[in-house]
Amino acid sequence: MGNLAGALTFQAEEAALVEELRAGSEDAFAWLIARFHQPIYSLLARTVQDPAAAADLTQEVFVKVFRGIGNFHGESSLRTWIYRIALREASNQRRWWSRHRRQEVPIEEQVVEGAYGSPVLLKEMLVDPAESPFDLAVHEENRARVEAALKHVAEPFRSTLILRDIEGFVYEEVAEIQGVTLGTVKSRLVRGRAYLRSLLAGERLAVRKPARSGIETLFGEEAQ
């Protein structure tokens, strides 16, 4: 009964938050940004592998959340909905990169509008004073190795690993975010983890990138 009561309370609180967002509450939107900015940025930074692009995409995600909150009807949790938007933006960015030359975007002097309309340096918004559960669970050197190896895991396997093993979403939520079946999520996890383990076991990532043929052998056509 305790779990049920807690779930009902959470749903009621989320429904109240959504109503405030729909009503245009600046306080509600500021809370949403404070709660989800760093997790979304971390997800995008690992997915698109470019800090400046991830920062731009993070801002775009919250613009889309603000503009699209009226279309959120609670079929999924608000968190799941926001992550789905983030992954869609990352996918769009990767497609854009496949057609255009990738360019560096300096963030040192960029100024954006803060939650309350005040100017904020973009680089200051990317600082997280607290360590994530992922940071706390793994020694710094091992975490660096995992992060480096993760960059060489093909999509959509990388996103699946990030959502399940780093962000902590349950299988059903990962399936909902990615718009696939539960079986597909489990398959991607098995294959993604296997490839990640092979990278960590012997490949020198700082020297060379894994051959494309190796990725295709393990992942098959889905890694396109």
**pLDDT score for 117:** 53
Mean pLDDT by 10 residues, the chain (224 residues): 50 85 90 93 88 90 92 88 93 71 46 50 48 53 81 91 91 92 92 88 54 51 52
CA–CA gap between residue 46 and residue 135 (Å, rounded)? 14
CATH architecture of 2-125: Orthogonal Bundle (1.10)
If one counts every other C-beta atom within 10 angstroms of the C-beta of residue 123, the result is: 15
Q: How far is CA 35 from the centre of its chain?
A: 14
Give φ, ψ of 154 to 5 degrees: -70, 155
Element (H, E) at 111: strand 111-113
**Are the C-beta atoms of 176 and 204 separated by less than 8 Å?**
no
User: Which tokens hold the place of 202?
Assistant: 């012997």
Q: Which three-class secondary structure state does DSSP give residue 85?
A: helix
Element (H, E) at 112: strand 111-113
**pLDDT score for 199:** 85
**pLDDT score for 161:** 92
**pLDDT score for 109:** 46
**pLDDT score for 144:** 80
**pLDDT score for 175:** 93
- Indicate the class that CATH gives domain 133-223: mainly alpha
**pLDDT score for 189:** 92
User: What is the residue extent of each domain of the chain?
Assistant: 2-125, 133-223
Q: Which three-class secondary structure state does DSSP give residue 121?
A: strand
**Are the C-beta atoms of 74 and 19 separated by less than 8 Å?**
no
